[in-house]
Amino acid sequence: MSDICMNHIERYWQALTIANNETFNKGDFEKALTGYKDALYRAEVLNNHILDCIRLKIPFIQVYIISCNNLANTYEELGKLEEAENMLKRTVYYLLHLAGNKKLNIDEIQSELKRAALSYVRFAEKINSGKVKQEQLFKTLKQQLVESDLM
């Protein structure tokens, strides 16, 4: 993909995110949800071109995480707690996936992974989604961390 196209996607993601943050803050959560889904799609496109993003210094990891968090917050506001939880778990799994990529900064991924896991745990505690789900996530996290030599 061309540099111009990659930069355009990032700028479009930023514009979508800013506009939908305003929509979210006004309380129009359904409209914000649609816009945040569109922004997540742009984040996914960027993640399909990791090497270009690295070269162009596009913060594709943060773009993806912000998109997932925006969706999680919106789902929570809409009372769709399972979807909110799934978005938070998606962030954790995304970072675990990236941890296996030797071309990426493992320190950055570890730092983001700690934040993502903490966000998930806080959410799970807040909604009392059950110890079983948390324990399964922690087992998966531990297994992935051991397999990717992060521990």
Is the separation of the CB atoms in 68 and 87 below 8 Å?
yes
Mean pLDDT for 30-39 is: 98
Per-residue model confidence (pLDDT) at position 8: 96
CA 1 to CA 101: how far, in whole Å?
Answer: 20
pLDDT (tens digit, 9 = 90+) per residue, 63-119?
Answer: 999 999 999 999 999 999 999 999 999 999 999 999 989 899 999 999 999 999 999
Per-residue model confidence (pLDDT) at position 151: 44
Q: What is the mean pLDDT of the chain?
A: 89
CATH architecture of 3-149: Alpha Horseshoe (1.25)
CA 81 to CA 86: how far, in whole Å?
Answer: 8
CA 119 to CA 49: how far, in whole Å?
Answer: 27
Nearest alpha carbon to residue 110 among 142, 140, 145, 143: 145
Domain ranges of the chain: 3-149
pLDDT at 46 over 70: yes
Say how many C-beta atoms besides its own lie within 10 A of residue 129's C-beta.
16
Per-residue model confidence (pLDDT) at position 127: 82
Give pTM, 2 decimals.
0.86
